């Protein structure tokens, strides 16, 4: 399935209010479905579909929402319920019991309740909320797909800077990859976002850290506008709330753009990519590093690595990161070291290299072993002596306009 996005523009205040009502109604139906499952035994998906009809008869505002959109809201509830059942069967520690949604931001239509114009420049919502016609603002690629591909679903999403329509197409994205014969092992970290076995390092821009002053300023202004016990809050409060939301949204988009560009370049440049499968949820429990780990957004980068691997039919392997920093990549000797120790010095073979590069070498070895290939890479004597003297060439990588720029420096 391919998802394309377009912004909904040129609407009136009444139209956007109607969109909000549709989103709130979808949230209401989903919560009712979860409550029905809690209160009754042996409830299946068919029972929840029947509940849709009953809710439409009982509540006039629920009837305004398109019948297919009501079913889609029930499907969201059932997705949470079925995931809960799956985790129970697998014996997971955290079962993830289905919860009620309080701040839902989207409503999903299936094949009815909306209609595209012939030129695909606007969309008309035809359900009982009388939303009407809204213009679509999107790029040429999205416009081309709207003309050629079959649309399965339309999802309306509310964000801090407006409303968006997401079009889900019944198609699979496949592209012809460029095969270089190169392989890479990636060690994820905070000092360097990634470092590979060839000592190529990528520095993360730290989008959250750079925007902290703006965030704090917007949060202070919001708190000053808040009046305890007032319902509803003033218009100035909601304006300040939207300004704060836009700052968070910009950071989110910066992270996503960074992850996409870096993952695309890594997979495009290598035929085999091996990375460490970090337990990020456990790592953020360290309150000294939680903000930096969250800002780095490793999970998003990993998701895009796997995505581009599937598109170009390239091998992307996740390995267990246990002892990759402790074991020597040359002889295998294990020596424990703290996070503050940035140099790997082996007491057994005398190898002295960067801690992250040593981990990248171990990660690559593990990944190639999983693929059934033995990979050997030793450090030459000349390079080893240069490393011991503290003069090694480290390549730092940054992304500029979607291209990788490598800057070499002697340290």
pLDDT in tens, 173-217: 888 888 888 899 998 988 889 888 888 888 888 899 999 999 999
Domain locations along the chain = 2-169, 183-212+261-410
Range of weakest confidence among 50-64, 106-120, 144-158, 368-382: 368-382
Q: Distance between CA 393 and CA 320 in Å, rounded?
A: 29
Q: How confident is the model at residue 83 (pLDDT cuts 50, 70, 90)?
A: very high
Q: Check residue 341 and give its pLDDT.
A: 81
Which of 363-367, 377-381, 404-408 shows the highest mean pLDDT? 363-367
Instruction: Annotate the chain with three-state secondary structure.
Output: CEEEEEEEECCCHHHHHHHHHHHHHHHHHHHHHHHHHHHCCCCCHHHHHHHHHHHHHHCHHHHHCCHHHHHHHHHHHHHHHHHHHHHHHHCCCCCCCCCCCCCCCEEEECCCCEEECCCCCEEEECCCCCCEEEEEECCHHHHHHHHHCCEEEEEEEEECCEEEEEEEECCCCCCCCCCCCCEEEEEECCCCCEECCCCEEECCCCHHHHCHHHHHHHHHHHHHHCCCCCCCCCHHHHHHHHHHHHHHHHHHHHHHHHHHHHHHHHHHHCCEEEEECCCHHHHCCCCCCHHHHHHHCHHHHHHHHHHHHHHCCCEEEEECCCCCCCECCCCCCECCCCCCCCEEECCCCCCEEEHHHHHHHHHHHHHHHHCCCCCCCCCCHHHHHHHHCCCCEEEEEEEECCEEEEEEEEC
- 104-119 mean pLDDT: 91
Find, among 189, 243, 238, 190, the residue nearest to 360 by Cα.
Answer: 189
Q: Please compute, for residue 172, the number of CA atoms within 13 A of its CA located in the half-sphere on the CB side.
A: 5
Statement: residue 383 has pLDDT above 60: no
Q: How confident is the model at residue 351 (pLDDT cuts 50, 70, 90)?
A: confident
> What pLDDT, on a 0 to 100 scale, did the predictor assign at position 377?
61
221 or 278, greater pLDDT = 221
Among 364, 330, 16, 308, which Cα is nearest to 182's? Answer: 364
Reported pTM = 0.81
Query: Which range among 103-112, 225-234, 341-350 shows the weakest confidence by mean pLDDT?
Result: 341-350
| pLDDT for residue 176 | 83
Mean model confidence pLDDT for the chain: 85
- pLDDT confidence of residue 390: 41
Does pLDDT of 409 surpass 80? no
- Give percent of the chain above pLDDT 90: 48
């Amino acid at each position: 399935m391919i998802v394309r996005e377009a912004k909904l523009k040129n609407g009136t205040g009444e139209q956007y209010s109607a969109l909000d009502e549709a989103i709130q109604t979808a949230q209401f139906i989903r919560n009712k479905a979860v409550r029905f499952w809690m209160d009754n035994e042996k409830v299946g998906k068919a029972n929840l579909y029947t509940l849709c009809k009953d809710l439409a008869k009982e509540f006039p505002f629920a009837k305004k929402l398109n019948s297919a959109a009501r079913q889609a809201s029930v499907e969201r509830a059932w997705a949470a319920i079925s995931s809960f059942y799956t985790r129970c069967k697998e014996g997971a520690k955290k079962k993830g019991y289905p919860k009620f949604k309080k701040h839902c931001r989207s409503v999903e239509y299936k094949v009815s309740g909306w209609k595209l114009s012939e030129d695909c420049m606007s969309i008309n919502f035809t359900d009982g909320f009388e939303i009407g016609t809204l213009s679509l603002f999107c790029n040429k690629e999205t416009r081309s797909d709207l003309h050629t591909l079959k649309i399965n679903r339309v999802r309306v999403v509310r964000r801090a800077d407006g409303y968006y329509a997401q079009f889900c197409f019944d198609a699979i994205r496949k592209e012809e990859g460029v095969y270089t014969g190169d392989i890479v092992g990636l060690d994820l970290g905070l000092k360097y976002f990634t470092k590979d076995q060839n000592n190529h390092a990528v520095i993360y821009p730290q989008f959250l850290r750079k925007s902290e002053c703006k965030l704090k300023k917007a949060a202070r202004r919001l708190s000053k506008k808040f009046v305890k016990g007032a319902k509803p809050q003033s218009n100035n409060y909601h304006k300040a709330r939207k300004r704060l939301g836009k700052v968070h949204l910009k950071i989110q988009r910066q992270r996503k753009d960074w992850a996409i560009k870096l993952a695309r370049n890594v997979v495009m440049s290598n035929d085999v990519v091996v990375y460490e499968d970090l337990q990020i949820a456990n790592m953020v429990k360290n309150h000294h590093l939680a903000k930096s780990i969250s800002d780095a957004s490793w999970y998003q980068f990993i998701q895009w690595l796997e995505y581009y691997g599937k598109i170009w039919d390239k091998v992307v392997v996740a390995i267990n990161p246990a002892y990759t920093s402790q074991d020597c990549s040359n002889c295998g000797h294990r020596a424990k070291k703290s996070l503050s120790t940035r140099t790997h010095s082996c007491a057994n073979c005398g190898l002295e290299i960067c801690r992250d590069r040593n981990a990248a070498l171990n990660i690559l070895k593990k990944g190639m072993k999983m693929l059934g290939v033995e990979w050997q890479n030793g450090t030459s004597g000349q390079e080893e002596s240069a490393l011991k003297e503290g003069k090694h060439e480290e390549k730092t990588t940054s992304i500029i306009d979607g291209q990788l720029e490598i800057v070499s420096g002697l340290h």
